[in-house]
Amino acid sequence: KRWADEEAKRGRIIGVGFSVYVEITTFGYETAILRAERDGNFTLFTALTPHGQGVATALAQVLADELEVPMEKIKVYWGDTAYVSDGIGTMGSRSITAGGSAVILAARRLKEELVKAAEKLLGCRPEYGGGIFQCGGKSVTIEEVVKAVYRGKANAQLAVGAIYHADATFPFGVHVAAVELDPETGFVRPLLYKSYDDVGVVVNPLLAAGQTIGGALQGIAQALYEEAVYDESGNLLTPNLAFYYVPTAAEAPRYEVYFADEPHPSRHPTGTKGIGEAATIASTPAVVMAVEDAIRRLKLGIRIDKTPITPEDVWRLLR
């Protein structure tokens, strides 16, 4: 607000808005199939499908952390019913919590099998940590144990599965938007977008930030740009991207994405709550409020009751 006040002295009309949200996420079940390969690597099969959100990478991280092995030793296969026939899919900010928790359960079952195999090699029941089984002053790596299981067994397969039934989680946060208004044209330009979210454990900060940025731009699009327009005869006037305005990087504001320093983990094995849709929920009202604030700076107390707020809409409101 202080920044907007300072810019007003320079003739700029800047509005600031915010929104506070609580989202209900995670439902249903997900399946994970985990197979230890003969070369000591691991293959994960999931019904979840990545389409830009990076869930395959996040699941590989979850598995690598649980098995305490490098990510390079893990391959993820997704969307193949030949391997995983049961799963709900990617939606509702649920993938990493439901799917990742299934991965953790499968990894724990695999470790139980590998402990039994390591016990035969070492002659005592070992403890596992850092990719190594140890007991009685002796040790073997997880790779050595896997290879020992397969040795001399042409048709052997070391695989486990897990189904995780997830109940609801509740990520929450506050998002702030700043826009600049041109009163002559009604054009609104997003300038700055800040978010602060508690989404539980953040598995991959870069992917989580990308989810927030993409979700925010989608919400900004709903607030300012995207609209299906029909004429009086019911003909669609926005049939393609030449007429239906989808924002690009050129329209995107500057983003500042923050996550809680001390998050409240969920009760699920991953400790996550979900991130995919948070910014789409928070961004539209924050931007609408910012436009109202900009109009208010022109001494007009106008409430906006529609989206998108097109330049024509703003121009008419100002007159």
Please give the pLDDT value at position 263.
81
As a whole number of angstroms, the longest Cα–Cα distance in the chain is: 86
Catalytic amino acids? 277
Please give the pLDDT value at position 62.
98
The dihedrals phi and psi of 176, each to the nearest 5 degrees, come to -125, 135
Q: What would the two tokens of residue 288 be? A: 């609408």
Taking only the tens place, the pLDDT of each residue in 237-260 is 999 999 999 999 999 999 999 999
Fill in the amino acid letter for 110: L
Dihedral angle computed from the Cα positions of residues 302, 305, 306 and 311, in that order, rounded to the nearest 10 degrees: 0
Query: Around Cβ 91, how many Cβ atoms within 10 Å?
Result: 13
**Is the CB of residue 243 less than 8 Å from the CB of residue 237?**
yes
The secondary element (H helix, E strand) that includes residue 214 is helix 205-224
Please give the pLDDT value at position 185.
95
Residue corresponding to tokens 């509740």: 170
Dihedral angle computed from the Cα positions of residues 279, 248, 181 and 258, in that order, rounded to the nearest 10 degrees: 30
What are the beta bridge partners of residue 276? none
Q: DSSP 3-state assignment of 15?
A: strand
How far is the C-alpha of 189 from the C-alpha of 15, rounded, in Å? Answer: 10
Q: What would the two tokens of residue 117 be? A: 């195999």
- Prediction pTM value: 0.90
Which residue in 303, 299, 255 sits closest to 279, CA to CA?
A: 255
Please give the pLDDT value at position 77.
95
Q: Give the ranges where the chain is alpha helix by DSSP (H).
A: 2-8, 55-67, 100-122, 142-150, 205-224, 278-296, 311-317
How far is the C-alpha of 18 from the C-alpha of 23, rounded, in Å? Answer: 16
Q: What would the two tokens of residue 170 be? A: 């509740």
- What does the chain come to in residues? 319
Taking only the tens place, the pLDDT of each residue in 48-64 is 999 888 999 999 999 99
How far is the C-alpha of 283 from the C-alpha of 175, rounded, in Å? Answer: 7
Mean pLDDT by 10 residues, the chain (319 residues): 88 96 93 95 95 93 97 94 86 93 98 95 95 95 94 85 94 97 96 97 96 96 96 96 92 96 88 93 97 91 91 91
**Is the CB of residue 301 less than 8 Å from the CB of residue 228?**
no
Please give the pLDDT value at position 304.
92
In order of start, what are the domains of the chain with their CATH numbers?
A: 2-25+170-317 (3.30.365.10), 29-165 (3.30.365.10)
